[in-house]
Every structure is written in C-alpha cells, then in structure tokens.
C-alpha cells in the first residue's frame, strides 16, 4: 500500500491534494512525468502527473478534480489509508533548458501539472511569466507555489472575481505582444491548449502542451492513448505526455476523450445507487 501522509481539499471540496509515500518513485521522478494509481482491487488505473516530488521525504503529490467514479473513490481515502498500487514515473520528462523568456499557462487543475515544469524553467535561469486561469478565485490552485516559481504571476478568472476577467488566452495575447517569448508551455483543458496553440502559431512561438488521453496500461502496449501529432500516430504514455502544440490534432483528442462518456456516466450512477 502507498500511504497518504497529507490530504487537503480545495475549491469547496471538488479538488483534492494527496501527498503519498512512494520513495522509489520520488527518487527517479522528473518534471512532466506521471504515475498510474489504483485505489483498491476493484479500481481502474488512473494516470495523474505529479504536482510535487519530495526526494528527501520520499513522497509524491497529486492533485485531482472529482469528476467520475474513480476520482470519487480516490476522494474517500483518508490520511493513513492509501492506494493499492502506484506505477511510475512514466512518460518522458519535460525538456528544460535556459531559453530566455518562458510563459507557463495553466488552466484549472492543469496548473498542478504545470507547477514542477514552471519551477524547473525558473531554476534553469529563464525569465518565467506564469498565467493561471480558473472559473473563479476559489478554483485557483497552487497560487503561492506558482508565484515562488515565476518572475511574474498573472491570474485570470472566467467571472472576473480575481485578476483579469477572461480566459488565459486574453492575457497571453498581451504578453506575446509586449515580450520576446522563447517558449510557451500550456497545460489545462483540451480547448484551452488548442486555442493557446492557435494563438502562439500567429506569433511563431514554440509551444509545448501536455496531453491527457484515456490510458490503460501506461507503457505503450494497448494503444488506448494514441494521439495524432503532425499526421503521425503517437502514444502519449511513452512518446509524451508533452508534444509540440502546433502539431497536435486537438479535435481528434476531444473526440476520443468523449468515446466512453455514456459508460462513464453509467458506472458513476451505479456507484451512486450503491451508496444510496
């Protein structure tokens, strides 16, 4: 069992942070890599990119939004309890080097995934401008950590409750207009990554996105996580999860993410009925 040593609730209990004892994974993990977790013997495998790794304590931190049966099961786990299995670190680490000005764009819980990459870019000597967006001020996560890892942190909310009233793309356009940007890293909902990539293409700025297709084995065997990059099929679990945003077929990814929506809802409803 992989024991939970810290559990926090954010955004009115809809977003959960778990710090988990996993010394072997913590020892090897690099920014951008993910783990696959199973809550119990009946659970499905869920991929989550690590938000934090503490090599000294031997822990990893994940942050997830409760959106379906498995994440609702994860959310029932308390401090002292744990995950039955965790496999990782998986996937390719982020390519981090000194490039100049790097803009890190996070949407919703995607900010958790963006955080170690932002810190890596900052520690490598880049000027880091971070843009974090959420539906409202309560859904902004890792604000202090993102602030500490950035030269400038800009907040956007859909309802204007904090920072700029608008999407991250509105703020990004202003940054691109006024700065010489070497790279944009964008992680969040697929439509956000699509529109960030369309915008940066106008400015000819290299853009990295982290894709989150449905995964089954996480080791390149099942083909479940296939994505189309520059017209070629790639497996997000072994070739990614990060790719050149200007080459990604985002519409294909959105279609594949919807493929099991009916089954997912049915499974979630069955869990509700069992609990009732």
Segment 124 to 163, residues that bind ligand FES, using CB under 6 A: none
Interface mask toward ligand FES for 221-260; x: CB under 6 A: xxxxx---------x-x-----------------------
Segment 107 to 126, residues that bind ligand NAD, using CB under 6 A: 107-110, 113
Segment 179 to 218, residues that bind ligand FES, using CB under 6 A: 215-218
Least distance to ligand NAD, CB of residue 8, Å: 16
Judged on CB neighbours under 10 Å (0-12, 13-18, 19+), 85 is middle
Contacting range for ligand NAD; rule: CB under 6 A; set: 91-99, 104-112, 146-154, 231-239? 104-112
Segment 200 to 229, residues that bind ligand NAD, using CB under 6 A: 210-212
Nearer to ligand NAD, 88 or 110 (CB): 110
Of 258, 255, 227, 252, whose CA–CA distance to 241 is shortest? 227
Segment 37 to 96, residues that bind ligand NAD, using CB under 6 A: 49, 65
Which residues make up the interface to ligand NAD (CB under 6 A)?
A: 49, 65, 107-110, 113, 133-135, 156, 158, 167-169, 187-189, 191-192, 195, 210-212
Which residues make up the interface to ligand FES (CB under 6 A)?
A: 215-218, 220-225, 235, 237
């Amino acid at each position: 069992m992989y024991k939970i040593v810290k559990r926090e609730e954010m955004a009115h209990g809809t977003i959960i942070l778990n710090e988990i004892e996993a010394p072997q994974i913590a020892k090897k993990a690099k920014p951008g890599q993910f783990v696959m977790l199973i809550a119990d013997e009946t659970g499905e495998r869920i991929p989550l990119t690590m938000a934090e790794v503490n090599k000294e304590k031997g822990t990893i931190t994940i942050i997830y939004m409760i959106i379906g049966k498995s994440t609702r099961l994860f959310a029932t786990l308390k401090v002292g309890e744990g995950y039955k299995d965790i496999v990782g670190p998986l996937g390719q680490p982020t390519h981090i080097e000194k490039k100049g000005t790097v803009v890190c764009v996070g949407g919703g819980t995607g900010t958790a995934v963006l955080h170690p990459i932002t810190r890596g870019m900052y520690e490598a000597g880049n000027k880091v401008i971070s843009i974090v967006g959420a539906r409202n001020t309560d859904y902004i996560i890792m604000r202090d950590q993102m602030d500490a890892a950035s030269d400038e942190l800009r907040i956007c909310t859909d309802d204007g409750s904090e920072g700029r009233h608008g999407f991250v793309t509105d703020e990004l356009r202003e940054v691109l207009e006024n700065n010489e940007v070497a790279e944009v890293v964008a992680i969040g909902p697929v439509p956000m990554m699509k529109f960030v990539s369309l915008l940066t293409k106008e400015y000819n700025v290299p853009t990295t996105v982290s894709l989150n297709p449905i995964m089954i084995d996480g080791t390149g065997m099942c083909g479940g996580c296939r994505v189309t990059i520059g017209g070629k099929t790639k497996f997000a679990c072994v070739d990614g999860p990060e790719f050149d945003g200007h080459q990604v077929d985002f519409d294909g990814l959105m279609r594949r993410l919807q493929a099991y929506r009916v089954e997912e809802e049915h499974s979630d409803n069955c869990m509700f009925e069992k609990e009732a």
